[in-house]
Amino acid sequence: MNAINWFEIPALDLERAFQFYSTVLNGNVRKGTFGNGDLILFNVPFNTGEAVGGSIVVRPDLKPTTEGGVLYLNAFSKLSEAVSKVEEAGGKVLVSEINLGKFGFAAVLIDSEGNKIGLLSNEL
């Protein structure tokens, strides 16, 4: 059991968000649809229960924000590699490296849509 079952990251421009996350996460996102809407999914085995799933969506009730908590995503690479791609992909690095000891390394950034997002990796 996971404490989190599903998450949604708000976007204003889905194509721009796809380009950002595809660049920073080494292509570990894909386009999809659910109901009548398009979304971006993370390439993790959420449908088997092996991982927590989530999506990036454009919805009128969700707005990007830097307020509140931070959602940390798997960097799918060394942290430094992912962080080095953030600005060229349209984001901003707030904290490039946080040493979490035995839990690895983290970074905090603003994505292309204006959300505060964290990245996690076991490798710096």
- The per-residue pLDDT for range 22-32, each reduced to its tens digit, is 999 999 999 99
pLDDT tens-digit map of 92-107: 999 999 999 999 999 9
- The confidence score (pLDDT) of residue 4 equals 87
pLDDT of residue 97: 97
Residue-level pLDDT at 2? 80
Domain boundaries, the chain: 6-121
Q: 6-121: which CATH number, 3.30.365.10, 3.40.50.1370, 3.10.180.10, 3.40.50.300?
A: 3.10.180.10
Question: What pLDDT, on the 0 to 100 scale, is given for residue 76?
Answer: 96
Task: Calculate the average pLDDT of the chain.
Answer: 95
Exposed (0-12), middle (13-18) or buried (19+): which is 74, by Cβ within 10 Å?
middle
* Digit-coded pLDDT (tens) for 17-65: 999 999 999 999 999 999 889 999 999 998 888 899 999 999 999 999 9
Asked if residue 85 lies in contact with residue 69, where contact means CB atoms within 8 angstroms, the answer is no
pLDDT digits (tens, 9 = 90+) for 68-99: 889 999 999 999 999 999 999 999 999 999 99
pTM: 0.92
